[in-house]
Chains A and B, each alone.
Chain A
């Protein structure tokens, strides 16, 4: 299969869905000639014109609300928020309007919109441009939350998100944009709510999301060299969450390590851990462990920035501890 980048895969999904359905249109800051701060929409203006690739002023609340309003009338807007951190400016429209309208109105409304935004640290962008906020969205019933880790999942999940009749927060990661992977051409839809086992293994289950998935896979390679076979499960969407795949895996391996970049307290790791303990406690051979970002804003200085979020070596260390009761490789 041909390989394209995560960024290209997202663009391909947008392009194909815009060709397929006239109701799909884009709004965002600098998404036209500039092509988006990370170049995701570069070239779409040329194909679809200013009406469907709408450059907006710096008005996150306004555009997310406008998406909700347009969606209410049957349009299918996809909003790009330049950095995940700026979704906080749009929270009222996302959380109080888009997420709740259908339920509040007794099931009469539909709000088929997508909010895409890149999150994550690693680019030296500091505290206001590096946050991982998935836990926030998971906490608003009515929103769906997708979080792809590979180019193929990015394409397939975005197509599903655009076709979904509910508001979907589509979480991208800056450090994944230029990573390549095989992506099917044309129709390739990954339904929301289906986890993927990225690597099979018998000794422990590593549940990782977004940019932590490639790190977990690299760690699993190292661990395999030491005789530890880690199974890596990527939930791919957090709402709906494919509890079944996670629990099946943990019941087989008896050990679970949950990894995310977002800070630990109140992170989705706590939710996943709780479900494992509630549903698979009897199968556990060791306490479930979490590896997460420190409870801190992301610091600017390069080395500090690296150290406050989980790295491959941390995953290896935690996995060893979980399986062998000690952290060193001996």
Chain B
């Protein structure tokens, strides 16, 4: 069993543990490479089925290709697709692109708040109708008690401290000073009412592992990751006002792997194109303590 196979088997094991032990489970799908690789792992774990809904948090500032690509795969793979959005903040124009708040507050409102509301069932939940291809309000208000997320330990400092099964309190907060012990393949699967757990099957993957896996398994990924002839591509995908492309001519997962292993990105951090990470040391930690993924 090679390195990638070992990572793959472990992730599948974690996905299955989550499915068997957590009653009301969902998976976050940001359309990015990590959560798309994770979606592929889920289809492998459950032999072509994805037995829980996928949640996408729509900030309204996602790059348009992302939404089109999401709906195409959701229909093709028969996914239960749920979209959450903070319509109140968008209507009141309380966003960074509107010039009303700083980047961090914008993330907090459009991502963290929208996520919390969709999880608790108190906010907007739009569900994909497979016969029309459109989205309709989801009648279910049942809170989700488990959320699978595709974060990796090598992304940044606070994520390097995560657990595979990471509890969140009734306010979605993360208590970093008192995380549960996790050993011998046994995870925290008992919870007080109102709390939930984040499950992180990709914790041990590095950026280059994800790309090698995408290459090996031919996982379909959104075109924004590849140079379309202009010498630019996205290395990490977020909202367009806060994410900038990098200069690169990589056109395929293979070329991206080469770039990461021996080429120009050999020693450059993945999220260096994300503006909100640079504003203050520890910003992401603050966001994550507060419920951000």
Do A and B form a real pair? Answer: no
